[in-house]
């Protein structure tokens, strides 16, 4: 069953008009990557809700902060050309980061994200990239098992802002189950 705009707003009240902008794109993306059923959808919406500031940001706000400066030259992200750190900053609803991840995501979605990274700022691609990331990291299985902390670690590398993520997850479960 697809998520409705009303449900999205109940889970992510700060999304405002963005809920209407993203609802169709999210349903298409979740369907394509088998993010189906309340446990999966609740965990997915909670995580993308946090990562995107409740659907308000599809591009990482650039300071640059010390952490963002650290993206430059990071071989594990494929950032090998000067300027890659900023060019391949986090984009999409799960914040795909780094040249290598843009390349892999682009290949999966049939987009040239290496030459046009800003495509991930468009709602349909922002949603699809998040669902692609979710699927390629095995997060459906973790959602089925209620392993929300493990999901956060795979997305974020740690448990950054876990309180907010858990609040959104609890809200999503109430709305969807």
CA distances from 176 to 12, 22, 85, 144 (A): 13, 17, 38, 14
Do the beta carbons of residue 110 and residue 128 sit within 8 Å? Answer: no
Catalytic residue ranges: 51
Q: How far is the C-alpha of 68 from the C-alpha of 66, rounded, in Å?
A: 5
Please calculate the CA angle 19-155-131 and round it to the nearest 5 degrees.
50
Nearest 10 degrees: CA dihedral of 48, 74, 80, 110?
Answer: -20
CA 118, 58, 31: angle at the middle one, nearest 5? 95
Distance between CA atoms of residues 66 and 166, nearest Å? 27
**CA-CA distance, 47 to 138, in Å (whole number)?**
14
The Cα–Cα gap between 157 and 127 comes to 21
């Amino acid at each position: 069953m697809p998520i409705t705009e009303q449900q999205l707003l109940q889970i992510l009240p700060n999304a405002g008009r963005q809920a209407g902008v993203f609802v169709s794109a999210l349903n298409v993306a979740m369907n394509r990557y088998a993010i189906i059923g309340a446990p999966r959808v609740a965990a997915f919406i909670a995580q993308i809700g946090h990562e995107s500031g409740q659907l308000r940001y599809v591009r990482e706000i650039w300071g640059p902060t010390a952490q963002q400066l650290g993206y430059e030259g990071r071989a594990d992200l494929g950032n090998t050309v000067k300027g890659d750190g900023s060019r391949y900053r986090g984009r999409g609803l799960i914040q795909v980061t780094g040249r290598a991840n843009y390349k892999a995501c682009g290949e999966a979605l049939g987009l040239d994200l290496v030459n046009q990274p800003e495509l991930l700022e468009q709602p349909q691609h922002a949603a699809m990239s998040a669902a692609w990331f979710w699927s390629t990291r095995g997060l459906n299985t973790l959602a089925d098992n209620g392993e929300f902390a493990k999901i956060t670690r795979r997305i974020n590398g740690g448990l950054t802002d876990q309180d907010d993520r858990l609040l959104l997850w609890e809200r999503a479960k109430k709305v969807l189950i």
